[in-house]
Amino acid sequence: MSPGDLPDWAAWLVSALALAGAGISLVGAVGLIRLKTFYERVHAPTLGATLGMAMILAASIVYFSAADGRPVLRDLLIGLFLTVTTPITLILLGRAAAYRDRSDGNANAPPDP
Amino acid sequence: MRRILPHPLLSLGLAVTWLLLNAPVTPATALSAVLVGLVVPSVMRTLEPEAVHVRAPGTILKLAVLVLYDVLRSNRDVAKVILGLRRGDRRAGFVSIPLDLRSRYGLAVLSIIVTATPGTLWIQYDSHTGHLLLHVLDLVDGDEWVRRIKDRYERPLMEVFS
């Protein structure tokens, strides 16, 4: 089945989900510019890593399921592995920033836990 | 049972992953999924991880629904902050949360929950004192965050990984 043979309802649903997911990720990217401190900025991209990612994956699942005529759920694995590995990057970034701020003696360095 | 399947959850996870990657399910993929589930976990023997004991499936389900709801809500809240739609003063800051949860797996799941909800960031966990330092984007009341993390997430996790 080629993309052109996708039923109308599926094409609309896939477009809506993909655009909504991309829009949410864009808001996260805008946050990288708009928020002021490092710790604030780290929050922004998590929009794209959670809801944005989920909607784009949902679009992909609907597309391939409609095109193949059977449920194609392998994209769920992308969501699972992204969710499980994101904390590693973010905790590493947070710890590195905290270490630098404390050793520099910054006034807004994080307190001890 | 222990000898054949030393890590039953890992075996199940690997088999399901295998089936998802090789869908649609045929006798051949089903057989290879069983083989992967049986053989691959043996590499864990050299790592000697702590055994995972998961209980209270009802609590897991309730926690999953709660986390899903919180992820959606905090996505909306952080989007509002970024787009300047949030009224009033916003103050970002650090909160120190005394945790009673000691299970390594429980803490790992808590870190995933905290990271997956935009607006909270896991900065540091001190395993000696059990204190967790979070950065919160919209910090109205520090004590409320302590209660929120402890009541909503920590208590169910302690039940699951007790």
Task: Give the A:B interface size as CB pairs under 8 Å.
Answer: 115
Q: Is B143 helix (H, G, I), strand (E, B) or coil?
A: helix
Range of the domain at A93: 9-104
Question: In whole angstroms, what is the distance from residue B81 CA to residue B126 CA?
Answer: 30
* Residue A95 backbone dihedrals phi, psi, to 5 degrees: -65, -40
Residue A112 maps to a domain: no
The answer on pLDDT for A35 being more than 60 is yes
Residue A70: predicted pLDDT: 87
Residue A109 maps to a domain: no
Residue A3 maps to a domain: no
Determine whether the interchain pair A111/B133 forms a contact, defined as Cβ–Cβ distance below 8 Å.
yes
Q: Indicate the pLDDT class of residue A3, thresholds 50, 70 and 90.
A: low
Question: What's the total number of domains in chain A?
Answer: 1
> A9 CA to chain B: closest CA distance, Å?
24
Mean pLDDT of A10-22: 96
Count of C-beta atoms within a 10 Å radius of residue B26: 10
Residue A6: predicted pLDDT: 85
Residue A4: predicted pLDDT: 62
Question: Which among B84, B115, B131 has the least Cβ separation from residue A86?
Answer: B115
Residues in chain B with CB shorter than 8 Å from the CB of A46 are 78, 115-118
The dihedral region occupied by B25, where left means phi > 0, alpha psi between -120 and 50, and beta the remainder, is beta
Residue A69 maps to a domain: yes
Residue B2: predicted pLDDT: 67
Determine whether the interchain pair B78/A42 forms a contact, defined as Cβ–Cβ distance below 8 Å.
no
Residue A111 maps to a domain: no
What residue in A sits closest to B91 (Cα-Cα)?
A40
Q: What are the start-end ranges of the E strands in chain B?
A: 93-98, 120-126, 131-136
Residue A110 maps to a domain: no
pLDDT tens readout for residues A57-113 = 999 999 999 988 888 898 999 999 999 999 999 999 999 999 999 999 888 888 887
Low-confidence residues in chain B, pLDDT < 50? none
Determine whether the interchain pair B72/A113 forms a contact, defined as Cβ–Cβ distance below 8 Å.
no
For A28-45, give one letter per residue: b (16+ CB within 10 A) or e: bbebeeebeebbbbbbbb
Question: In whole angstroms, what is the distance from residue B135 CA to residue B20 CA?
Answer: 37
- Chain A residues contacting B, CB < 8 Å? 24, 27-28, 30-31, 34-35, 37, 39-40, 42-44, 46-47, 49-51, 70-74, 76-77, 83-84, 86-87, 90-91, 94-95, 98, 110-113
Residues in chain B with CB shorter than 8 Å from the CB of A76 are 20
